[in-house]
Structure 1
Amino acid sequence: MGNHSTQTIFHLLGFSIAPELQALLFFIFISIYILTVSANITIIMLVRVDHRLHAPMYLFLGHLSFLEIWYTSTIVPKLLANLMQNKIISLSGCLAQIYFYFSLGSTEFFLLGVMAVDRYLAICNPLRYTTIMNGRVCLQATTACWSVAFVAVFFLVILISQLPFCGTDVNHFFCDIPPLLKLCCQDTQVVEKVVFLFACSIILSSFLVTIISYFFIVSTILKIPSNKGRRKAFSTCASHFTVVVILYGTVIFIYVRPSVASPLNINKVLGLFNTVVTPLLNPIIYCLRNKEVKEAVRKVLKKLAALARNGAIHPIM
């Protein structure tokens, strides 16, 4: 630490825009946040109540929706406060935000990797699928995803918490590691390398599992003689593949680079897309591209419509 005194209060600079635009962004972001939470809760409830969705793929989808609720809730409330000119955050609050943001994000990568393996087994080993992906295996896989991510990020946050900070202005709308390290009083090359290796180990390892799984999936699908059979097989993994492309594309660009010294304005835009938009896109993609989920939604809407009609008629009777 030397003669440096660590700052305990930071200011999130957020977006340098006119107050009128900040009010507009506040309305847009809070609307997206409400839709995100509602859509993911809907997915969770559908997985629980519809027996056709009691399969490993939808169990993992339920975990993914539960994760997305907390993932976006880690960032958006403070983002909304920032737009209302409440830009102050404590050091402990900053470290807590980093911890949950990276823990939940790492868990999502692990879950996507597990879901890719699940699709590989379902398409490439259909006869053994139900035996391999039983309830016990699914529980162990999801538990491992959550546990490994939260434990690994804990040690990363402990490392960052030991640094002395001299500056107060975090050039972001949330406490991300790259802009926070810019405020450090000492050389951060070692920490930057640790962060880079952490990002590589989490993101690229799960990405490699996903790529290998899809290599065998595509190879197997191309061997199916009928066009109808190939389309049906592709449809079972189209939603997952779309989510993988969106998530990995943004996060790899932000974090998997040789240095954390990156264009922060670009990172703000990509970070906004990753933390605000993507959690809403995931349930929409699964609803639009998945036949079973769409049928479950229709079934629930029909029941709600029937209940509404009965409720409207009952008082007259």
Structure 2
Amino acid sequence: MKSECILLGFMAYDRYVAICNPLRYNVVMSIPICVRMIAVAWVTSCVISSFDIVFLHRLTFCGPNVIDHFFCEAPSLMQLSSCGDISTEYIVLFVSSSLLVLFPLSLILFSYCQIVICLVRIQSGRLKSFSTCLSHLIVLTLFFGAVIFMYMRPKRPVKDTTDKIVSVLYTTVTPS
């Protein structure tokens, strides 16, 4: 989830450059720049994941050891830990997820606002540009809606099947 958020933000920037500055696209989005973007996404997601792992490692697990979920994610692991106080872990997960979701989402919103402003000014090619962005906007809405629902809630119910459905939405449906 972490690297996907950042990569979707970079994809929105790529669309912005392709639509608003098409003649400079090869210069702005060169191969070294794209490699740096991928490296930033991977390194950032690894660093933030390591914080989550450290805080999840501190949990004490007792009782059932079966994760009632499709995937082994931090929220589902924290539901297993009922022996101790997990409020610190919830806060860490909430803050790290908020930063990781809100920064790329703000980049995406800014780039699409710039795209709309650019398309309002031009006369030809509007429909083609909008259709190019439409699929990306649908994936963004599904992905970020599901991620915000899963990771940006301060407290979670103990048993909820909605979490399972939403996690399938952002892990399986949107990458397809």
Q: Residues 207 and 263 from structure 1, CA distance in 2 versus in 1: closer, same or farther, beyond 3 angstroms?
A: farther
Amino acid at match of 2:105: F
Count of equivalent residues: 174
Q: In 2, distance between residues paired with 1:244 and 1:262?
A: 28
Residue deviations 1:80-112 (CA, integer Å, cap 9, x gap): xxxxxxxxxxxxxxxxxxxxxxxxx11111111
2:73 pairs with 168, 176, 194, which one? 176
- 1:207-218 counterparts in 2 under 5 A? 207-218=105-116
1:157 Cα shift?
Answer: 0.7
Gaps of 5+ in 2: none
TM-score (norm 1): 0.52
SS across alignment from 2:130: helix
Runs (4 or more) in structure 1 with deviation over 4 Å come to none
Q: In structure 1, what residue type is equivalent to 2:156?
A: V
Alignment partner of 1:186 out of 64, 84, 90? 84
- Give the aligned partner of residue 100 of structure 2: 202
- State how 1:124-203 maps to structure 2 within 5 Å: 124-168=20-64, 169-184=66-81, 185-203=83-101
- Counterpart-to-counterpart distance in 1, 2:101 and 2:26: 28
Using the size of structure 2 for normalisation, the TM-score is: 0.89
Please identify the structure whose Cα radius of gyration is greater: 1
Q: Report the Cα offset of residue 188 of structure 1.
A: 0.8
Aligned-partner Cα distance in 2 for 1:213–1:276:
26
Aligned 8 A contact 1:247 1:278 in 2: yes
Q: 1:147 to 1:237 in 2, by over 3 A?
A: same
Summarize the alignment of residues 87-106 of structure 1 with structure 2, pairs less than 5 Å apart: 105-106=1-2
Determine whether 1:219 maps to 2:117: yes
CA shift digits 1:259-307 (9 cap, x unpaired): 2347621111112233333333xxxxxxxxxxxxxxxxxxxxxxxxxxx
Contact 2:143 2:169 in 1 (8 A): no
Amino acid at match of 1:112: L
What is the one-letter code of the residue matched to 2:78?
A: L
Helix, strand or coil for the counterpart of 2:174?
helix
Aligned AA (1:182): Q
**Aligned partners of 1:196 and 1:260 also within 8 Å:** no
Return 5+ residue gaps in structure 1 as ranges.
1-104, 281-317
Amino acid at match of 2:75: P
Q: Which secondary structure does the structure 1 equivalent of 2:61 belong to? A: coil
